[in-house]
């Protein structure tokens, strides 16, 4: 009985060492990517906003940060909402991602997180969803 309990404990430790650590790595990587997108977006808006005011003051550019996982860009009449979802997930085994060489090389590479860009155009709404596998 004691040996079986110790074996189960080793399995739990192995899972924590592999999957939990991988999930933490994916989360940290996603935060890094999202911060790069946010910072680049803010810099571009700041640079272009002052230049476009000299051309036509009706054309506005704006940047608004809501929190660490969400910001918004206003580009003329369009609005783009960027969101980082904080739940790391693993694709189901039937998902086509398992056919990629990236996941075949290491099955733990099937963990991902979502970054979403929602584009509010006057006529319709587009949603672009990226996973950390796209980077």
Compute the distance between CA of residue 84 and CA of residue 115 in angstroms, rounded to an integer. Answer: 5
Higher pLDDT, 78 or 42: 42
- Looking at residue 76, its pLDDT comes to 84
- Looking at residue 129, its pLDDT comes to 62
- Looking at residue 112, its pLDDT comes to 92
Q: In the Cβ-directed half-sphere of 57, how many Cα atoms lie within 13 Å?
A: 0
From residue 101, alpha-carbon distances to 112, 116, 127, 129, 131 in Å are 16, 25, 27, 21, 16
pTM equals 0.78
What are the tokens at 80? Answer: 């783009």
Compute the distance between CA of residue 5 and CA of residue 25 in angstroms, rounded to an integer. Answer: 29
What are the tokens at 61? Answer: 């550019």
């Amino acid at each position: 009985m004691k040996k079986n309990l110790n074996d189960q404990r080793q399995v739990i430790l192995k899972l924590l060492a592999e999957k939990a650590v991988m999930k933490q790595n994916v989360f940290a990587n996603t935060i890094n990517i999202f911060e790069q997108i946010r910072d680049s977006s803010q810099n571009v808006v700041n640079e272009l906003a002052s230049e476009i005011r000299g051309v036509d003051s009706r054309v506005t550019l704006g940047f608004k940060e809501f929190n660490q996982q969400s910001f918004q860009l206003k580009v003329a009449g369009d609005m783009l909402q960027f969101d980082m979802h904080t739940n790391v997930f693993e694709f189901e085994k039937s998902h086509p991602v398992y056919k990629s060489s990236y996941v075949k090389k290491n099955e733990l590479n099937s963990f991902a997180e979502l970054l979403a860009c929602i584009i509010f155009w006057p006529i319709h709404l587009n949603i672009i969803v990226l996973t950390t596998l796209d980077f």
